[in-house]
Amino acid sequence: MSLLPRRSPLASEHRALGARMVEHEGWSLPGSYGPDDPGIDEHQAVRHTAGMFDISHLLVVDVQGRDARAYLRHVLANDVDGVAEAGGALLSCLLSDQGGIIDHPMVYRLGGDAWRIVLNAGCADAAVAWMDHVHQTGGWRLAIQPRRDLAMLALQGPHAAERFWAARAGSRPLTEPLPRRTFTECSGLMVAHTGYTGEGGYECFGPIDAIIELWRDLVALGVRPCGLAARDSLRIEAGLVRYGCETGTGTSPLESGLGDTVCRHDASRDFIGRRALEARPSSRRLAGLIVTDAHAHDEADDDLAADVGLPPSRAPARVRLPGILIAGEPAEGDVTSLTRSPTLGVTIALARIPARAAEGALAQVEIGGVWRNARDCALPFVRRGHAIAPAPPPL
């Protein structure tokens, strides 16, 4: 097995545009474009105009066959029966028997007995192995097919749709009416109204040559290519989780901001992990934190300086809520992601804290070994370019 990182089908496009390549989840991907941009300008392009991301490191897996629907109702925590017809999508969790998160994929209904699942890169191999294990031991009549013959890009921002319509003549009547979490076939591509930034836009799936051509056409139209640094700051502002930070095999969806992906209304549906979740109610929840100390923001930048261009590989160790005492001691939690928010101009974090903590509770976040004042707030911090959670005055 090669220890070299995998290369995206768009790798030559990134190099031609001056991307600074970094290793991420076993792939060589753009951290940011240009020698002096750590992702801030790219972040702002997505919030105010349009930006695009190479997401070909994600793994498309097609599941089809006469038992595909029943199999997915068993292997996924969300109920695919919630997607009433072809062209719909939902977010789900793929759980272990113990209720831990193997992955949290997007699931698309292609039609008939055919479904498409998009897995996160860092856990794709383990997720496919688990799906195949369930398939083989259960005797399901279906086929599971990873699709490395496909490439993907995400076009995001308030002007994303207009740029796509300009790039692909005749696409507007098909894509403009798409509600959130639906998709259509257009110009030889699967075009989904989904994304990971808190903005509108499309995720496009298709043959490698078609995605490369679309990438080049969008660059010619002035769409800003964006790397991992912007992708991470955008998703944290939007309160969206990342595998390996907020989620993993040791965490439950109920404590990771993914409670809505667990559908238990049908008592007869015995999906994998259900019994473990019902036997172990979560005592923690995922919260947003705004750091209110004026000097903490530069320190947050310094603390993550070695990771510019990459999602943070290390998170500050703890968060504590002094207003909540358990056995006479301040309650503590874990910071899962932290960034300087370009939209809000302050440091924000996602953290797993005691469920009993009321919204707005005071807290401290450890940044660079120093405890800084913070306040719990509802997620997201930013939606469609607008601050939902403005920073409170310093404590």
Number of H helices, E strands in the chain: 10, 24
What's the token pair of residue 66?
A: 């006469």
3-state SS, 295-326, equals: CHHHHHHHHCHHHCCCCCCCCCCCEEEEEEEE
Lowest-confidence region among 11-25, 206-220, 274-288, 321-335: 321-335
Indicate the angle between helix axes 160-167 and 208-220, nearest 10 degrees. 110
pLDDT tens for 175-194 read 999 999 999 999 999 999 99
Q: How does pLDDT run across 7-19, given as a tens digit for each residue?
A: 999 999 999 999 9
Q: What percent of the chain has pLDDT over 70?
A: 89
- Using alpha carbons, list the distances in angstroms from residue 2 to 6, 26, 209, 362: 9, 11, 25, 48
Q: Is the pTM of this model over 0.75?
A: yes
Q: Which CATH superfamily is domain 283-395 in?
A: Aminomethyltransferase beta-barrel domains (2.40.30.110)
| pLDDT at residue number 322 | 76
Per-residue pLDDT at 301 exceeds 60: no
Instruction: List, by residue range, all CATH 2.40.30.110 domains of the chain.
Output: 283-395
Predicted local distance difference test score (pLDDT) of residue 247: 96
**Topology adopted by domain 1-282:** Gyrase A; domain 2 (3.30.1360)
